[in-house]
Amino acid sequence: MEIWPLILILVFVVEQGLAIKCYQCSSTEDQRQPTGVWSEDQYTQNRYEDNCGVYWPFEPYRNVPVECNSDESHNPGTFCVKIVKQGPKGFIWDGRWRMVIRRCASVSDTGVTGVCNWGVLENGVYWEECYCSSDGCNSADFLSANTSFSLVLAVITLLSAKIL
Q: Is residue 119 part of a domain?
A: yes
Q: Is the dihedral of CA 66, 71, 72, 73 positive or negative?
A: positive
Q: Is residue 162 part of a domain?
A: no
Q: Is residue 100 part of a domain?
A: yes
Q: Is residue 50 part of a domain?
A: yes
pLDDT tens, residue by residue, 144-162 = 444 455 555 556 666 676 6
Q: How many domains does the chain have?
A: 1
Give me the domain span that covers residue 83.
Answer: 21-142
Q: Is residue 15 part of a domain?
A: no
Cα separation of 20 and 10, whole Å? 16
Q: Is residue 59 part of a domain?
A: yes
List of residues 6+ apart from 118 with CB closer than 8 A: 126, 127, 128, 129
Please determine, for residue 30, whether its predicted confidence score (pLDDT) is greater than 50.
no
In the 3-class helix/strand/coil scheme, how is 61-127 assigned residue by residue? Answer: HHCCCEECCCCCCCCCCCEEEEEEEECCCCCHHHCCCEEEEEEEECCCCCCCCCEEEEEECCCCCEE
Helix (H) / strand (E) element for 67: namely strand 66-67
pLDDT tens, residue by residue, 98-113 = 889 999 998 766 667 7
Mean pLDDT of the residues in the chain: 73
pLDDT band at 2 (very low <50, low <70, confident <90, very high): confident
Q: Is residue 25 part of a domain?
A: yes
Q: Is residue 4 part of a domain?
A: no
Cα separation of 87 and 94, whole Å? 11
